[in-house]
Amino acid sequence: MFEAVLLTVITAATPLLIAAVGELVVERSGVLNLGVEGMMIMGAVIGFAVANQTGSGSLGVVAAVVAGMAMSALFAFLVLFLVANQVATGLALTILGIGLSGMIGEAFIGVPGLDLPQLYIPVLSEIPFIGPVFFQQDALVYLSFALVAAVAYCLFRTRLGLVLRAVGDNHGSAHALGYSVLKIRFMAILFGGACAGLAGAYLSLAYTPQWVENMTAGRGWIALALVVFSSWLPLRVVVGAYLFGAVSVLNLHAQALEFDIPSQLLSSLPYLATIGVLVLISANRRLTLVNTPACLGKPFVPDR
């Protein structure tokens, strides 16, 4: 029973972790992208459609990443070069993604999907309990941890990470030192879009291998909350993602155990937890300011 619970927690947490670590990089550069939900849903539908038409889950994953990057490029063009309001643009991107995905995915409703194969590691995969939990996951689960490690190393151990954080903390000074603020932010936004598209692909190709309209079900918003919950630190994102993943699967296991709790209440727990965490963080001003990029959400217009 405990093994089954852990497996479902892993599958529920993985898309949150991938999307959140991408958004963390975006916000570290000083840009607030509220369009994560729209990029995720587009990644889910495009990934499913390409995998269904080609018979290749790998091509579906690549297509989902490209779809997420395309949506993020649109966002970047509007907020960086046209200096559009970041909050309004992100919300518009989410609305666009939900509507466009519904139109594209209409032909794929009810169509059986391709399930990403699980990796099998000889000997290790056969160990009771440990084998199925740690050594029989699909490639995207392992990729999610690799992404966190790579982002953590890049942000705090490389010159590129130092420049990215400098742009997010003081874009005026970074520009004065000769760094291209718009270029750095554009690349960060593309990375965030790629991660959001990848998270969407996981939903439609691994979590539930099928296309269902609005299948992201607010996960993009939870990923945004995770970035704040983690105080913009990559390793804390892992803890937050798995905590929220555990809360989200509580509904299924509570129903299986026939607890006398309304299913509607259990289904709302992830979103109630999100609100609760944000309220607690907002109440502590010191915690709110820790690691928060000083230029988060502020537009930058270079001197002409």
Q: Each residue of 260-271: pLDDT tens digit?
A: 666 666 667 777
Predicted pLDDT of residue 24: 97
Mean pLDDT throughout 120-148? 84
Is 82 a member of any domain?
A: yes
Which CATH number covers residue 285? 1.10.3470.10
Is 243 a member of any domain?
A: yes
Predicted pLDDT of residue 54: 93
Q: Which domain holds residue 88?
A: 2-115+144-289
Is 19 a member of any domain?
A: yes
Specify the range with the lowest mean pLDDT, choosing from 150-164, 178-192, 251-265, 268-282.
251-265
pLDDT in tens, 10-69: 999 999 999 999 999 999 999 999 999 999 999 999 999 999 999 999 999 999 999 999
For 82, residues 6+ apart whose C-beta sits below 8 A from its C-beta are none
Is 301 a member of any domain?
A: no
Is 128 a member of any domain?
A: no
Predicted pLDDT of residue 266: 65
pLDDT tier for residue 135 given thresholds of 50, 70 and 90? confident
Is 203 a member of any domain?
A: yes
- What total number of domains does the chain contain? 1
pLDDT tier for residue 256 given thresholds of 50, 70 and 90? low
Predicted pLDDT of residue 271: 74
Predicted pLDDT of residue 254: 63
Mean pLDDT throughout 101-110? 93
Is 138 a member of any domain?
A: no
Is 135 a member of any domain?
A: no
